[in-house]
Amino acid sequence: MHMGGSRCGRRTSVGILQHIRPYSYYPPPEPFISSKFDASSPPKAPSAVANDVPISASSPISTFGATPSLLSNFLAIPPTSLTMSSLLYLGGSPGVPPSEAQLLHSARFTARELPIRLARRVDQYRSLPFIVGSNPYIAKIAKLYASSFDSLASMGFDNIQTLEDNDKFAAKLEEMVQLHSENVPTLARGFLECKKYMSSSAISTFLNGAIHSRIGIRLIAEQHMALSHAFRIGKTATPYSVGIIDTRVNAYDLIKQDSELVEELCESTLGDSPEIKIEGSREATFVGVASHLSYCVKELLKNSYRATVERHLNHYKRNPHAERTPIPPIFVSIAKSKQYLSIRIRDRGGGIAPKNLPHIFNYTFTTVPNEEEKGDASIDDAEMGPYAMQSMPSMGGSHNDALGALTTGGSGSTIGLGSALGTLAGLGYGLPMSRIYAEHGRGSLDIVSLYGHGCDTFIKVRANPLEMS
């Protein structure tokens, strides 16, 4: 496996913490125990509590600030398995805003379910090696989860009885969603700094779990926020939607819209863009959250556009006198079966070098050169296609700037490969995140590379999903 550490310019900001032995685990040893914590009579969580399972030898320090007794109470309650039909049932009929009773019922479900899931998130951070949980970026996110947990857990779901109560609750949710909006890049930056304390596969496993459950938490929160909004304005987002779930997302329209955005981005970044040909059913629809599929489609299209244009340009760079031909188009096919809606994206961007293939689903793996590599003529033009340029080890250390800019809400103009319109490539998030989105809806995402020619990418989503995680 290529590790390429020498080129990574690994940087850490853990400073003095680097000297602490990496093998201590949360919770820290006893002397940290809080005087506030009284294990003999843990305060009861609101009426949602089924069992008391105290977290012994625990403290607010080892729980990132969450109240230990509340945390142990909520950890004893299993999360509700989410089904699309139960979310639809909670929200009422497509195209009709919820009634007051439906809205309050949804509010109580949301207020009960979120702290149960947030408790599990906090617990996941507690299981990290001590040195990793102490990293400022990772600790920041863990503390954010802990304070969101405490705030919702101590509220009590059955206290939401009136529309006024719901307004306050919905405003709280909005604030939380906002607070958590930079979690993923912040976490990835933290893990970049911790790569010597955890293997890259352990980091990927943690991030996959964290992002998977984050999607579920956000779905529940955003569903209730959308229902509250529809109730307030007396109108749903589309004639077929229930909250953020649309019962008739048209795949053709979604792909068309996303490809226009990616085309503009590619054009402004690389100066040219291929044509796109969408074939297959124009009527195919599915039941789900359009923005989830749209995220995947955009990321896959960005990869295909970039590969196709870079390969084309590199060909003329190497053969200045070659006869000019048009950029090969990208083909997108839509197919619908009884169970699945499938999309295939086919490009002629040169495919993926076999040495890079095992890493493409690792966070931060990218073949966009970093600043140092951009000036290295020896790696340019070495083999055919843009992806022969070089490989970055998984969780490599050259993306602090990119992630830093992302974390601070940078526009993207200096991140990896991008323009004022956004980032075309270079963060190494597109494939791993898209796969989690697809899998969250019980679908799949796969990529097949014909090295030297191009790639086929497949996304499958449930056409009528009954079950989600």
Ligand X SMILES: Nc1ncnc2c1ncn2[C@@H]1O[C@H](COP(=O)(O)OP(=O)(O)O)[C@@H](O)[C@H]1O
Q: Which residues bind ligand X (CB under 6 A)?
A: 299, 303-304, 307, 347, 349, 351-352, 356, 360, 365-368, 387, 425-431, 455
69 touches, from ligand X, Mg ion, none (C-beta below 5 to 8 Å by class):
none
Per the CB < 8 A criterion, the answer to whether 80 and 468 are in contact is: no
Chain Cα centroid distance, residue 458: 19
155 CB-side CA count, 13 A: 26
Place of tokens 């790639």: 455
**Between residues 193 and 299, which has the closer beta carbon with respect to ligand X?**
299
Query: Smallest gap, in angstroms, from Cβ of residue 199 to Mg ion?
Result: 24
258 touches, from ligand X, Mg ion, none (C-beta below 5 to 8 Å by class):
none
Strand order in the sheet with 330-336: 276-280, 330-336, 340-346, 454-462, 444-450
347 touches, from ligand X, Mg ion, none (C-beta below 5 to 8 Å by class):
ligand X
Query: Smallest gap, in angstroms, from Cβ of residue 447 to ligand X?
Result: 6
Query: Smallest gap, in angstroms, from Cβ of residue 125 to Mg ion?
Result: 28
For binding to Mg ion (CB under 5 A), which residues are involved? 303, 425, 430
**Between residues 194 and 301, which has the closer beta carbon with respect to ligand X?**
301
Query: Smallest gap, in angstroms, from Cβ of residue 458 to ligand X?
Result: 12
Per the CB < 8 A criterion, the answer to whether 39 and 146 are in contact is: no
Query: Smallest gap, in angstroms, from Cβ of residue 427 to Mg ion?
Result: 7
Which are the contacts of 73, defined by CB distance < 8 A and separation ≥ 6?
42, 44, 45, 49, 51, 52, 53
**Between residues 150 and 299, which has the closer beta carbon with respect to ligand X?**
299
**Between residues 20 and 448, which has the closer beta carbon with respect to ligand X?**
448
**Between residues 130 and 387, which has the closer beta carbon with respect to Mg ion?**
387
**Between residues 120 and 435, which has the closer beta carbon with respect to ligand X?**
435
How far is it, in rounded angstroms, from Cα 415 to Cα 426? 7
Residue nearest to ligand X (CB): 430
Query: Smallest gap, in angstroms, from Cβ of residue 95 to ligand X?
Result: 36
Q: Pick left, alpha or beta for residue 224 (phi over 0 → left; psi -120 to 50 → alpha; otherwise beta).
A: alpha
DSSP labels, 34-92: -TT--TTSPPPPSTT-------TT--TTTTTTS-HHHHHHHHTSPPPPP-HHHHHHHH-
**Between residues 185 and 428, which has the closer beta carbon with respect to ligand X?**
428
365 touches, from ligand X, Mg ion, none (C-beta below 5 to 8 Å by class):
ligand X
Query: Smallest gap, in angstroms, from Cβ of residue 110 to ligand X?
Result: 32
Q: Which residues of 284-316 are buried (b: 16+ CB within 10 A; e: fewer)?
A: bbbbbbbebbbbbbbbbbbbbbbbbbbbbebee
310 touches, from ligand X, Mg ion, none (C-beta below 5 to 8 Å by class):
none
